[in-house]
Structure 1
Amino acid sequence: MRDELNQGLIEFLQASPTPFHATANLARSLRAAGYQALDERAPWATEPGGRYYVTRNDSAIVAFQLGTRPLLEGGFRLVGAHTDSPCLRVKPQPEMQRQGFWQLGVEVYGGALLAPWFDRDLSLAGRVTFSRDGKIESRLIDFRQPIAVIPNLAIHLNREANQGWCINAQNELPPILAQIGGQDSPDFRALLADQLAREHDLVADVVLDYELSFYDTQGAAIIGLHGDFIASARLDNLLSCYAGLQALLKAGPEESCVLVCTDHEEVGSTSCCGADGPFLEQVLTRVLPEGDAFARIINRSLLISADNAHAIHPNYSDKHDANHGPKLNAGPVIKVNSNQRYATSSETAGFFRHLCLVEEVPVQAFVTRSDMGCGSTIGPITASQLGVRTVDIGLPTFAMHSVRELAGSHDLQHLVKVLAAFYQSADLP
Structure 2
Amino acid sequence: MSAPSRFDRGHTDDLMSFLAASPTPYHAVAHAAERLDKAGFRQVAETDAWDGTSGGKYVLRGGAIVAWYVPEGAEPHTPFRIVGAHTDSPNLRVKPRPDIGAHGWRQVAVEIYGGPLLNSWLDRDLGLAGRLTLRDGSTRLVNVDRPLLRVPQLAIHLDRSVNSDGLKLDKQRHLQPVWGMGDDVRDGDLIAFLEETSGVPAGEVAGWDLMVHSVEPPAYLGRDKELVAGPRMDNLLSVHAGTAALAAVAAHGADLRYIPVLAAFDHEENGSQSDTGADGPLLGGVLERSVFARGGSYEDRARAFAGTVCLSSDTGHAVHPNYAERHDPTHHPRVDGGPILKVNVNNRYATDGSGRAVFAAACERADVPFQSFVSNNSMPCGTTIGPITAARHGIRTVDIGVAILSMHSARELCGAKDPFLLANVLVAFLEG
Q: Which one of the candidate residues 196, 204, 207 is aligned to 1:206?
A: 204
CA contact (8 A) 1:275 1:381 kept: yes
CA contact (8 A) 1:196 1:203 kept: no
CA contact (8 A) 2:77 2:301 kept: no
**SS at 2:145's partner residue?**
coil
Q: Which one of the candidate residues 52, 61, 76 is aligned to 1:56?
A: 61
- Between the aligned partners of 1:115 and 1:400, the Cα distance in structure 2 is 13
CA contact (8 A) 1:359 1:417 kept: yes
- Between the aligned partners of 1:355 and 1:192, the Cα distance in structure 2 is 46
Partner of 2:3: none
- Between the aligned partners of 2:192 and 2:28, the Cα distance in structure 1 is 26
CA RMSD, Structure 1 to Structure 2 (Å): 1.3
Q: Structure 1 residues 74 and 291 mapped into 2: Cα distance closer, same or farther (>3 Å)? A: closer
- Between the aligned partners of 2:85 and 2:186, the Cα distance in structure 1 is 42
Q: TM-score normalised to the size of structure 1?
A: 0.94
Partner of 1:107: 111
AA partner of residue 5 (structure 1): H
AA partner of residue 388 (structure 2): I
Deviation at 1:72, TM superposition (A): 6.2
* Residues 1:369 and 2:376 aligned together: yes
AA partner of residue 171 (structure 1): R
- Between the aligned partners of 2:169 and 2:203, the Cα distance in structure 1 is 39
Q: TM-score normalised to the size of structure 2?
A: 0.94
Equivalent pairs counted in the alignment come to 415
**SS at 1:215's partner residue?**
strand
CA contact (8 A) 1:105 1:170 kept: no
* Residues 1:153 and 2:154 aligned together: yes
Partner of 1:81: 85
Identical aligned pairs, as a percentage?
Answer: 42
Runs of 4+ more than 6 Å apart: none
AA partner of residue 67 (structure 1): P
**SS at 2:198's partner residue?**
helix
- Between the aligned partners of 1:370 and 1:423, the Cα distance in structure 2 is 33
Q: More displaced, 110-119 or 285-294? A: 285-294
AA partner of residue 264 (structure 2): C
Partner of 1:271: 274
- Between the aligned partners of 2:242 and 2:308, the Cα distance in structure 1 is 17
Deviations 1:125-169 (A, max 9, x none): 0001122xxx23210100111101111111111011122132111
- Between the aligned partners of 1:85 and 1:50, the Cα distance in structure 2 is 31
- Between the aligned partners of 1:280 and 1:321, the Cα distance in structure 2 is 34
**SS at 1:282's partner residue?**
helix
Deviation at 1:230, TM superposition (A): 0.9
Q: Which one of the candidate residues 102, 109, 113 is aligned to 1:98?
A: 102
Partner of 1:333: 340
Deviations 1:73-105 (A, max 9, x none): 751111000000000000000211211010011
Q: Structure 1 residues 184 and 258 mapped into 2: Cα distance closer, same or farther (>3 Å)? A: closer
CA contact (8 A) 1:72 1:300 kept: no
AA partner of residue 376 (structure 1): T
The residue correspondences of 1:334-413 to structure 2 (distance < 5 A) are 334-413=341-420
Deviations 1:233-270 (A, max 9, x none): 10000000000111111112332110000100000000
Q: Structure 1 residues 294 and 139 mapped into 2: Cα distance closer, same or farther (>3 Å)? A: same
Partner of 1:418: 425
Partner of 2:134: 130
In structure 2, runs of 5+ residues without a counterpart are 1-6
Deviation at 1:359, TM superposition (A): 2.3
Deviation at 1:183, TM superposition (A): 4.5
Deviation at 1:356, TM superposition (A): 1.2
Partner of 2:178: 176
Q: Structure 1 residues 37 and 183 mapped into 2: Cα distance closer, same or farther (>3 Å)? A: closer
* Residues 1:141 and 2:142 aligned together: yes
Q: Which one of the candidate residues 8, 17, 23 is aligned to 1:17?
A: 23
In structure 1, runs of 5+ residues without a counterpart are none
Deviations 1:106-136 (A, max 9, x none): 10000100001000000000001122xxx23
Deviations 1:351-392 (A, max 9, x none): 211221232201000010111101100011011111111110
CA contact (8 A) 1:248 1:257 kept: yes
- Between the aligned partners of 1:372 and 1:30, the Cα distance in structure 2 is 40
